[in-house]
Amino acid sequence: MIEVDHAHKSFGKVHAVRGVSFSVPKGSVVGVLGPNGAGKSTTIRMITGTVPPTRGSVRVDGLDSIDQSLKVRRRLGYLPESNPLYPEMRVADFLAFRARLFGLSGKARKAGVDRAISRCWLDDVRSRRVGQLSKGYRQRVGLAAAMLHDPPVLILDEPTSGLDPAQIAETRQLIRELAGDHTMLIVSHILPEVEKSCDRLLIFARGRIQADGSADDLLRDLAQRQGFAVEVKAANGAPKTSMQAIAHIEQVESDPNGRSGDGWHALRVIVDKAAADPGAVIGGACRELGLTVRSLRPATATLEALYIRLVEQADKATAKVSEQRKPEGEAA
Amino acid sequence: MGATLTVAWREYASFFRSSIGWLVIALYLFLSGLWFAYDSITPGQPASMRALFSVSQWLLLIVAPAISMRLLSEELRSGTIEPLMTAPISDWHIVIGKYLAALAFLITMLLPTLIHVGVIELLASPDYGPILAGYLGLVFVGACYLAVGLFFSSLTRNQIVAFLSTLFFFMLLVFISSPNVAALVDEPFRSLLFGLSINLRIADFAKGVFDTSHAAFFLAFVVLFVVLSVVGVESRRWR
**Based on the domain organization, do A8 and A136 belong to the same domain?**
yes
> Looking at the predicted structure, is the pLDDT value of residue A322 above 70?
no
Q: What's the pLDDT at A324? A: 64
Decide if A184 is inside a domain. Answer: yes
Contacts of A261 (CB under 8 A, 6+ apart): none
Q: What's the pLDDT at B47? A: 65
**Based on the domain organization, do A67 and A133 belong to the same domain?**
yes
Q: What is the pLDDT of residues B51-108, one digit of tens each?
A: 788 888 889 999 999 999 999 999 999 999 999 999 999 999 999 999 999 999 999 9
Chain B neighbors of A143, CB-CB under 8 A: none
**Based on the domain organization, do A198 and A172 belong to the same domain?**
yes
Confidence band for A328, pLDDT divided at 50, 70 and 90: very low
Report cis status (omega within 30 of 0) of the bond before B188: yes
Q: How far apart are CA A174 and CA B135, in angstroms?
A: 56
CATH label of the domain that carries residue A140: 3.40.50.300
Q: What is the pLDDT of residues B6-29, one digit of tens each?
A: 999 999 999 998 888 999 999 999
Average pLDDT over residues B158-175: 94
Average pLDDT over residues A233-250: 78
Query: Which residue from B80, B89, B239 is facing A86, i.e. has the nearest CB?
Result: B80
Query: Which residue from A51, A80, A103 is facing B88, i.e. has the nearest CB?
Result: A103
Average pLDDT, chain A: 84
First to last CA, chain A: 35
**Nearest C-alpha of chain B: how many angstroms from A51?**
5
Q: What's the pLDDT at A325? A: 59
Decide if A161 is inside a domain. Answer: yes
Q: What's the pLDDT at B139? A: 93
> Looking at the predicted structure, is the pLDDT value of residue A229 above 90?
no
> Looking at the predicted structure, is the pLDDT value of residue A327 above 70?
no
Percent of chain B at pLDDT exceeding 90: 54
Angle at CA A82, nearest 5°, toward A76 and A86?
Answer: 85
Q: How far apart are CA A153 and CA A27, in angstroms?
A: 9
Average pLDDT over residues A146-158: 91
Could A50 and B88 be called an inter-chain contact, meaning their C-beta atoms sit closer than 8 Å?
A: no
Chain B neighbors of A49, CB-CB under 8 A: 86, 237
Sign of the torsion angle spanned by Cα atoms B64, A87, A89, B72: positive
Q: How many CB atoms lie within 10 A of CB A329?
A: 6
**Nearest C-alpha of chain B: how many angstroms from A142?**
10
Chain B neighbors of A103, CB-CB under 8 A: 2-3, 88
CATH label of the domain that carries residue A289: 3.30.70
**Based on the domain organization, do A172 and A276 belong to the same domain?**
no
Q: Which residue of B has its CA nearest to A146?
A: B83
Q: What is the pLDDT of residues B102-161, one digit of tens each?
A: 999 999 999 999 988 888 888 877 888 888 888 988 999 999 999 999 999 999 999 999
- Angle, helix B159-176 to helix B128-155, in steps of 10 degrees: 130
Decide if A218 is inside a domain. Answer: no
Domain end (from A168, A187, A213): A213
Confidence band for A299, pLDDT divided at 50, 70 and 90: confident
**Nearest C-alpha of chain A: how many angstroms from B47?**
44
Could A102 and B88 be called an inter-chain contact, meaning their C-beta atoms sit closer than 8 Å?
A: yes
Q: How many CB atoms lie within 10 A of CB B237?
A: 15
Q: How far apart are CA A22 and CA A34, in angstroms?
A: 15
Decide if A310 is inside a domain. Answer: no
Q: What's the pLDDT at A60? A: 92
User: Comparing C-alpha atoms, which of A216, A305, A303, A191 is closest to residue A257?
Assistant: A305
What distances in angstroms separate CA B75 from CA A49, A242, B49, B114, B154, one per listed residue?
18, 68, 38, 34, 9
Chain B neighbors of A132, CB-CB under 8 A: none
Q: Indicate the residue type of A220.
A: R
> Looking at the predicted structure, is the pLDDT value of residue A134 above 50?
yes
Could B80 and A85 be called an inter-chain contact, meaning their C-beta atoms sit closer than 8 Å?
A: yes
Q: How many CB pairs under 8 A join A and B?
A: 64
Q: How far apart are CA A243 and CA B236, in angstroms?
A: 61
Q: Which residue of B has its CA nearest to A94?
A: B10
Q: Which one of A76, A101, A102, A157 would you mutate to disrupt binding with B, by most B Cβ within 10 Å of its Cβ?
A: A101
Q: What are phi and psi of A267, to 5 degrees?
A: -125, 155
Q: How many CB atoms lie within 10 A of CB A2?
A: 23
Q: Which residue of A has its CA nearest to B233?
A: A50
DSSP string across B99-162: HHHHHHHHHHHHGGGHHHHHHHHHHS---HHHHHHHHHHHHHHHHHHHHHHHHHHHH-S-HHHH
Q: Which residue of B has its CA nearest to A148?
A: B87
Q: Which one of B77, B82, B98 would you mutate to disrupt binding with A, by most A Cβ within 10 Å of its Cβ?
A: B82
- Which range is least confidently modeled, A40-49, A51-60, B45-54? B45-54
**Nearest C-alpha of chain A: how many angstroms from B116?**
33
CA A314: distance to chain centroid? 15
DSSP bridge pairs for A293:
A232
Q: Is A168 helix (H, G, I), strand (E, B) or coil?
A: helix
**What is the residue extent of each domain of chain B?**
2-234
Count of structural domains, chain A:
2
- ipTM field: 0.88
Residue ranges of alpha helices (H) inside chain A are: 40-48, 69-75, 91-101, 106-119, 135-147, 165-179, 191-197, 215-226, 239-244, 278-289, 303-325
Say if residues A317 and A205 touch (Cβ distance below 8 Å): no
**Based on the domain organization, do A82 and A139 belong to the same domain?**
yes
Q: If interface means Cβ-Cβ distance under 8 Å, which residues of chain A face chain B? A: 11, 48-52, 70-71, 73-74, 76, 78, 80, 82, 84-86, 88-89, 97-98, 100-103, 105, 145
Decide if A322 is inside a domain. Answer: no
Q: Which residue of B has its CA nearest to A143?
A: B83
Average pLDDT over residues B206-221: 86
Q: What is the pLDDT of residues A61-95, one digit of tens each?
A: 999 988 898 999 999 999 998 899 999 999 999 99
User: Comparing C-alpha atoms, which of A38, A5, A22, A10 is closest to residue A188?
Assistant: A38
**Based on the domain organization, do A143 and A266 belong to the same domain?**
no
Average pLDDT over residues A122-131: 92
> Looking at the predicted structure, is the pLDDT value of residue A116 above 70?
yes
What distances in angstroms separate CA B10 from CA A232, A292, B94, B129, one per listed residue?
73, 77, 11, 35
Q: How far apart are CA A87 and CA A106, in angstroms?
A: 25
**Nearest C-alpha of chain B: how many angstroms from A85?**
6
> Looking at the predicted structure, is the pLDDT value of residue B239 above 70?
no
Say if residues A137 and A93 touch (Cβ distance below 8 Å): no
Which helix or strand (DSSP H or E) is residue B20 part of?
helix B19-39
User: Comparing C-alpha atoms, which of A100, A118, A122, A120 is closest to residue A109?
Assistant: A100
Q: Indicate the residue type of A197.
A: S
Q: How far apart are CA B35 and CA B33, in angstroms?
A: 5
Average pLDDT over residues B204-227: 88
Q: What's the pLDDT at A323? A: 63
Contacts of A160 (CB under 8 A, 6+ apart): A139, A167, A168, A171, A172, A188, A190, A193
Say if residues B68 and B150 touch (Cβ distance below 8 Å): yes
Q: Which residue of A has its CA nearest to B14?
A: A88
User: Comparing C-alpha atoms, which of B90, B64, B71, B76 is closest to residue B12?
Assistant: B71
Could A84 and B3 be called an inter-chain contact, meaning their C-beta atoms sit closer than 8 Å?
A: no
> Looking at the predicted structure, is the pLDDT value of residue A274 above 90?
no
Q: How many CB atoms lie within 10 A of CB A177?
A: 11
Decide if A134 is inside a domain. Answer: yes
Decide if A162 is inside a domain. Answer: yes
Sign of the torsion angle spanned by Cα atoms B71, B77, B79, B85: positive
pTM of the prediction? 0.83
Q: If interface means Cβ-Cβ distance under 8 Å, which residues of chain B face chain A? A: 2-3, 6-7, 10, 14, 17-18, 78-80, 82-90, 236-239
Sheet holding A63-64, edge to edge: A14-24, A2-11, A55-60, A63-64
**Based on the domain organization, do A204 and A257 belong to the same domain?**
no
Q: What's the pLDDT at B76? A: 93
Decide if A314 is inside a domain. Answer: no
Domain, as residue range, for A276: 228-298
> Looking at the predicted structure, is the pLDDT value of residue A330 above 50?
no
DSSP bridge pairs for A271:
A249
